[in-house]
Amino acid sequence: MPSRIKKREAIDKVNKRFKTHMLTLTNTRFANINSRKEVWWLDIPLRCIKANSQGNIHLILYNYRTKELHHLNVPSAFFLKNIKGLVVREDKDIITLELAVEATRQFQDARPMGSGINFSQFLTRR
């Protein structure tokens, strides 16, 4: 079985890497690679995006194969601007993302009902 890490551990590693404490349990969404599909699957409550409309939502994605943590620092405004191209589950009031793992489409929304929005521009590198 592939090694997974937990959200708290991922946040601690990213904060340490960037010498900051900006990532918290509330402003960060985390995913390991899904066990059934080659994606990082994330649910983002709309209330978090709307409450933080001038800020950012942090996405941490763990690749157990390479032992890499990817940090995407996505402005809430980007979600709001692109809401029509994202899959919104109105029954749960969430945006549901499936971000591709494969290198040719990495960080692109792979939901069949979505419009393939790419989040790679928000990858934090340091």
Q: What is the pLDDT of residues 78-116, one digit of tens each?
A: 999 999 999 999 999 999 999 999 999 999 999 888 889
Q: What pLDDT shows up at residue 2?
A: 64
Q: What is the pLDDT of residues 39-79, one digit of tens each?
A: 999 999 999 898 877 899 999 999 999 999 999 999 999 99
Give the residue with greater pLDDT, 10 vs 54.
10
Residue 126: which pLDDT band, with cuts at 50, 70 and 90?
Answer: low
pLDDT > 70 in the chain, percent: 98
pTM, entire model: 0.91
* For residue 125, pLDDT beyond 90: no
Q: How far apart are CA 31 and CA 110, in angstroms?
A: 15
Q: Which residue type sits at 90?
A: E
Strand partners, 29: 59
Give the residue with greater pLDDT, 63 vs 126.
63
* For residue 22, pLDDT beyond 90: no
Q: Is 49 exposed, middle or buried (0-12, 13-18, 19+ CB in 10 A)?
A: buried
Tokens describing residue 90 = 């109105």
